[in-house]
Amino acid sequence: MAMAMASVQLGRQTSIQDSPRSPEAKLGMQVEDLWDVQEPELSPNEKLNACFESIPVSAFPIAPQGIEIKSDASLAEAVQILAQNKILSAPVVDVDAPEDATWMDRYIGIVEFAGIAVWILQQSEPSSPRSPSSPNGAEFAIAANGTVSAAGLGALGPEDASITSGDFFEALTSSEFYKNTKVVRDISGSFRWAPFLALQKSNTFLTMLLLLSKYKMKSVPVLDLGDGKIDNIITQSAVIHMLAECTGLHWFESWGSKKLSEIGLPTMSPEHIITDAALCGALCNLTTENFVSVSASFGQSPVVRPCAVGFYEVYEDEPVLQAFKLMRKKRIGGIPVIECRGKKAIGNISLRDVQFLLTAPDIYCDYRSITAKNFLIAVRNYLEKHEKRSPMLSGMITCKRDETFKELIQKLDSEKIQRVYVTDEDGNLEGVITLRDIISRLVHEPRGYFGDFFDGVLPLPENSRV
């Protein structure tokens, strides 16, 4: 087998030299080398699992940006940093940590748009002591990997018209309250932090892919224990880009050529588009020889609840804050906006779009209320005027059930989007496919893989093989 492996690798190296490829494609070639020498009696899924278990996460291409947010930064500064760098989240560095601090003392958590959405919603509740007129009660959630504290919320009614008016966010962002609110200092005693869970460079691709899919993490920091700093952050989008670069390789084509319906996507039937899914749980206080991790919590201990697959929607005439409330409550990253009479979608609102309520609040001044439709129109006009590339300018990205897995991956990668909506021939919504759905089709968790690492902390996903 060793001779065969050497022969295969020599052939691969010659091919790469003859035709230069991206770092992601070269990584795919490494998977191909391993694929070719796997035991023939293994199923394609078992082969792929074995390949990913043999590759360390240190082999994953380094992200070009190492953006960090200082713990004494203001909320306004944090929003600008995320928006300008076109990223969903960034680690928070403790400015009081000594130069030789360990990574556990250096990093506090991860701030992301999910947490910013929570803060906005709290400011938009006029009957709450957390409203802009009461700055001492302000809260802002720093959330790690998509898990934030949230309570059940009702729908916005007519009495909430004032907080969905076109000038609400312009008044909020121009206030000293907003400018002076600190990411950590002013609010660290009034919210719960989800954990900062990271991998060592020696951990495997399989571990990383399971965390990004089965265990619902949006991104995974990779630490260099030598200097105590983050060496890389691997996101779901980065994994999808790697897959898109592997077109033509045998291991990729073996399942990339299958139709979505053949591999069980989307994961719900049309009659279950609107469900009553439970909230996702949070990772907390985890330690194991496979991981290095840290978590900090303030107030009560995190509550862990099961999470089921769900597909939610808002109508175009509903307040845009209703979309963000639904995403907050149901732990989802995006939601389609549906026309008032029918099932056709006119657009999509994602958690990252909350930035446009804070970075460009003046674009809503001509509207009496910021409905989901008005929000989409105002943001698209703003992006076109400023010639900024954004998924919102691409309109509603959809696919059909008879498209192939490879076509879907290429669409997600080229459009730089987090989800694609599945429609029928008449344009009616049938389901949604997210990046996590794609990654979850790549790998499965072997029995006992994590030992008792997640016992009592995370619920096992439905149809778990463990």
Phi-psi region of 3 (alpha: psi -120 to 50; beta: other; left: phi over 0): alpha
Tokens of 364: 């809503």
DSSP 300: S
303 three-state secondary structure: coil
pTM passes above 0.85: no
Tell me what pLDDT residue 164 has: 64
Share of the chain above pLDDT 70, in %: 71
Tell me what pLDDT residue 217 has: 87
Q: How far apart are CA 245 and CA 34, in angstroms?
A: 17
Q: How many CB atoms lie within 10 A of CB 455?
A: 9
Q: How far apart are CA 312 and CA 333, in angstroms?
A: 11
Tell me what pLDDT residue 21 has: 76
Q: Give 130-169 pLDDT, tens digit per residue.
A: 444 444 333 333 332 333 333 333 444 434 544 567 888 8
320 three-state secondary structure: helix
Show the low-confidence residues of the chain (pLDDT under 50): 1-18, 127-159, 161-162, 187-195, 269-310, 456-466
Q: How far apart are CA 167 and CA 366, in angstroms?
A: 9
Q: How far apart are CA 292 and CA 172, in angstroms?
A: 39
Cα–chain center distance at 324? 15
| 3-state helix vs strand vs coil in the chain, percent to 5 | 40, 15, 45
Burial 322-346 (b: 16+ CB within 10 A, else e): bbbbbbbbbbbbbbbbbeeeebebb
Q: How far apart are CA 435 and CA 61, in angstroms?
A: 19
Pair 332, 349: CB distance under 8 Å: no
Q: Give 45-93 pLDDT, tens digit per residue.
A: 999 999 999 999 999 999 876 789 898 999 899 999 999 888 888 888 8
Pair 292, 453: CB distance under 8 Å: no
Contacts (Cβ under 8 Å, ≥6 apart) of 434: 333, 418, 419
Order of all β-strands in the sheet with 107-112: 69-70, 89-93, 107-112
Tell me what pLDDT residue 329 has: 82
CA-closest candidate to residue 285, choices 141, 457, 449, 107: 457
Tokens of 410: 């290429």
What's the fold here for domain 259-283+310-442? Answer: CBS-domain (3.10.580)
Tell me what pLDDT residue 150 has: 31
Q: How far apart are CA 116 and CA 327, in angstroms?
A: 12
First to last CA, the chain: 31
Tell me what pLDDT residue 105 has: 86
Q: How far apart are CA 222 and CA 309, in angstroms?
A: 28
Q: How far apart are CA 336 and CA 347, in angstroms?
A: 6
Per-domain residue ranges of the chain? 259-283+310-442
Q: How far apart are CA 186 and CA 76, in angstroms?
A: 13
Tell me what pLDDT residue 258 has: 95
Token look-up 């899919």 returns 213
Tell me what pLDDT residue 388 has: 67
CA-closest candidate to residue 102, choices 364, 313, 294, 358: 294
Pair 245, 22: CB distance under 8 Å: yes
Backbone φ, ψ for residue 422 (5° rounding): -95, 130
Positive or negative: CA dihedral 67, 231, 453, 451: positive
